[in-house]
Amino acid sequence: MRRILLTLVLLNLLSACSSVRPPVLSSELFQDQWYGPRPALISAEQVLAINPAMEQFLEKEVLPRSKKTELRLALFQAISQDNRITLEYDASLTRNAEQAFEAKTGNCLSLVLMTSALAKKLGLQVDYRNVMVDTLWLQADQLVLATGHVNIALGRYRQAYLSTSDDNDVLVIDFLPPPEAIKYPSVSISEARILAMYFNNRAAESLQQAQLNDAYWYAKSAIAQDPGFLPALNTLGVIYQRGQHYQLASQVYRQILAVAPDHLLALSNLQDSLSRSGDSAGASQIQARLTQLHYQEPFRHFQTGKALYQQASFTAARTAFQEQLSITPQHTESYHWLAMTYLHLGDTTSANQQLVLARESATTAQTRQRFDLKLQALRAAHH
């Protein structure tokens, strides 16, 4: 079964289609009457809002530092330690600026939103940046998530750890340590695009929780912020598809393809939607196009490995999981299943190594804790 493809900003952000013209969207694409009331915390103003605790942080932690150094560096120092951001990385939920500050956790988009809100309160210039890194693929139930990376730069600052793109020296705020954060090329994006990414993330996260009502409103808000952000339109199609509104889902995907004919996520989802609606001829036509573009499902080797594992074909399963990791080297569950495979093959050392890698690739605190417990159990059983 083909898994539905979404674009999500977690550690990263997908840069695809940033330069295409926005599609012409008809009002028929939106069916508000099918869904319940809009969820709370959905306005653009709330995403970048600053609360009293954040204002107090600026008064006590940032402004005193600014007496000895430049204001933007004072902000960086206040939210970092040893050149590393003190916000704990966690991709379980895309938090807005206030939520990230209060929880002291978030993904890269949450870090950007929090930093932007604080910087704007200080009167600093901000530059949102789409970092050109390879797409990272994640899997959640029947969803496949394509991710990329964003960070934020604070004006001009002429010293170490600078990004010099566009002839401007800027201080880059990123989960990656400064020398790494500046080595990747990046392009500036608008605040509307950043807000669209936030709402699209929330839509995808709602989908993972089977909350179609919330997902719909978040996706619609993302499209309203930036109609040219095609991943949000793709998410809307996925929402319709999950609700078995296949005709409308297909219509949404075709809107994407009208401006980006080789958009692999939209093509793959359209093929699946047509197939589910009984249009086998249309599905075959799209499949032929996917074949022409050399498209292969991102987690095909993982699914093969699981099937082989369940058949007790552990040597073949090991090969399949290794092949998957060569394609998606940050796929936590491939490391996990490979570790279990090594246990069945009697290789405890390799099993331990794979569990360590699973723990290191985890994107949420809960998942990291899960693998900490597995590592403890494995080591206790073999000592």
Please report, in tens digits, the pLDDT of each residue of the chain (383 residues total).
Answer: 445 555 444 333 333 334 567 787 888 899 999 998 888 767 899 999 999 999 999 999 999 999 999 999 999 999 988 778 889 888 888 999 999 999 999 999 999 999 999 999 999 999 999 987 766 767 766 777 777 789 999 975 444 444 444 435 678 899 877 667 777 888 899 999 999 999 999 999 999 899 999 999 999 999 999 999 999 999 999 999 999 999 999 999 999 999 999 998 899 999 999 999 999 999 999 999 999 988 877 777 888 888 898 999 999 989 988 988 887 777 888 888 899 998 899 899 998 888 898 888 777 777 888 888 888 888 888 76
The answer as to whether 105 is a domain residue is: yes
Given this model, what pLDDT does residue 185 score?
84
**In a shared domain, residues 83 and 172:** yes
The answer as to whether 289 is a domain residue is: no
**In a shared domain, residues 236 and 367:** no
Q: Give Rg (Cα) of the chain.
A: 22
The answer as to whether 294 is a domain residue is: no
**In a shared domain, residues 352 and 243:** no
Strand partners of residue 189: 128
Angle, nearest 10°, between helix axes 230-242 and 191-208?
Answer: 20
Q: How far apart are CA 106 and CA 129, in angstroms?
A: 17
Say how many domains are in the chain.
2
Given this model, what pLDDT does residue 110 score?
95
The answer as to whether 269 is a domain residue is: no
**In a shared domain, residues 251 and 307:** no
**In a shared domain, residues 305 and 245:** no
Q: Last residue of a domain, which of 200, 226, 256?
A: 256
**In a shared domain, residues 225 and 312:** no
- pTM of the prediction? 0.81
What is the span of the domain harbouring residue 182?
1-256
Given this model, what pLDDT does residue 90 score?
85
Given this model, what pLDDT does residue 318 score?
92
**In a shared domain, residues 361 and 235:** no
- Which CATH number is 334's domain given? 1.25.40.10
**In a shared domain, residues 237 and 182:** yes
> Which two tokens mark 151?
């960070």
With beta carbons less than 8 A apart as the criterion, state whether 42 and 217 touch: yes
Q: How far apart are CA 154 and CA 318, in angstroms?
A: 46
CA dihedral 216, 219, 224, 226 (to 10 degrees): -170
Write the pLDDT tens digit of every residue in 306-345: 889 899 999 998 998 898 888 777 788 888 889 999 889 9
Given this model, what pLDDT does residue 13 score?
32
**In a shared domain, residues 344 and 228:** no
**In a shared domain, residues 249 and 308:** no
With beta carbons less than 8 A apart as the criterion, state whether 235 and 223 touch: no
**In a shared domain, residues 304 and 250:** no
Q: How far apart are CA 303 and CA 162, in angstroms?
A: 43
The answer as to whether 143 is a domain residue is: yes
Write the pLDDT tens digit of every residue in 77-111: 999 887 788 898 888 889 999 999 999 999 999 99
The answer as to whether 276 is a domain residue is: no
**In a shared domain, residues 51 and 161:** yes
Q: Last residue of a domain, which of 224, 256, 288?
A: 256
The answer as to whether 286 is a domain residue is: no
The CA angle 367-343-92, to the nearest 5 degrees, is 10
Q: Last residue of a domain, which of 225, 240, 256?
A: 256
Burial of residue 380 (CB within 10 Å: 0-12, 13-18, 19+) is exposed
The answer as to whether 232 is a domain residue is: yes
